[in-house]
Amino acid sequence: MIRLTNLADYAVVVMAAAAREPAAKLSATRVADLTLIPAPTVAKLMGTLARGGLLTATRGASGGFTLSRDPAGISVAEIVEAVDGPIALTSCVSGDVQDCAMEGHCAIRGHWAPINHAVRAALAAVSLADLVKPAAAATRAPAPALAD
């Protein structure tokens, strides 16, 4: 199973909360209340997302965090990468080859790059604006008839 880290998952939720209130300067406490993610985790993520250029932080009594740009211009891939770094399904492609017992004799290593690009492209194709739209009702197409 391929899964996002919990922090990347929470970062997407935090960004979606910010996108739902684009005019508001949100505090970590407010986002924690909206998302039910623990406040210390939200504060850490909001700092990370601000350093990644996805949120803008304003200090002071009327400060808080706002999206750095329109939700349509922020992709899920950018959010994940701001928290976890480059999207890579295996350690050998991410440059961390010392964790691989097969380094030096793996015939598959060179084939992971296109797979990683496809996964990143799929995440890049989904914008934050897409995530805050109401989910379409799930419809199930009838199963095709089997030929004799």
On whether the CB atoms of residues 2 and 78 are closer than 8 A, the answer is no
Q: So what's the pLDDT on residue 45?
A: 97
Percentage of the chain beyond pLDDT 70 is: 81
Q: What is the pLDDT of residue 134?
A: 81
| pLDDT, average across residues 75-89 | 93
Considering the entire predicted model, what is its pTM? 0.82
More confident site: 1 or 134: 134
Phi first, then psi, for residue 20 (nearest 5°) are -75, -20
pLDDT for 105: 75
pLDDT in tens, 57-72: 988 888 889 999 999 9
Q: Is 124 exposed, middle or buried (0-12, 13-18, 19+ CB in 10 A)?
A: middle
Render pLDDT for 98-136 as a digit per residue (tens, 0 to 9): 566 666 777 777 788 888 899 999 999 999 999 998 876
Tokens 């993610």 locate to: 37
Q: Domain spans of the chain?
A: 6-132
> Could you tell me which residues come within 8 angstroms of residue 37 by beta carbon, excluding any fewer than 6 positions away?
10, 13, 14, 31, 45
Predicted local distance difference test score (pLDDT) of residue 51: 96
| pLDDT tens track for 83-94 | 999 888 877 665
Identify the CATH assignment for 6-132 out of 3.60.10.10, 1.10.10.10, 3.90.950.20, 1.10.150.120. Answer: 1.10.10.10
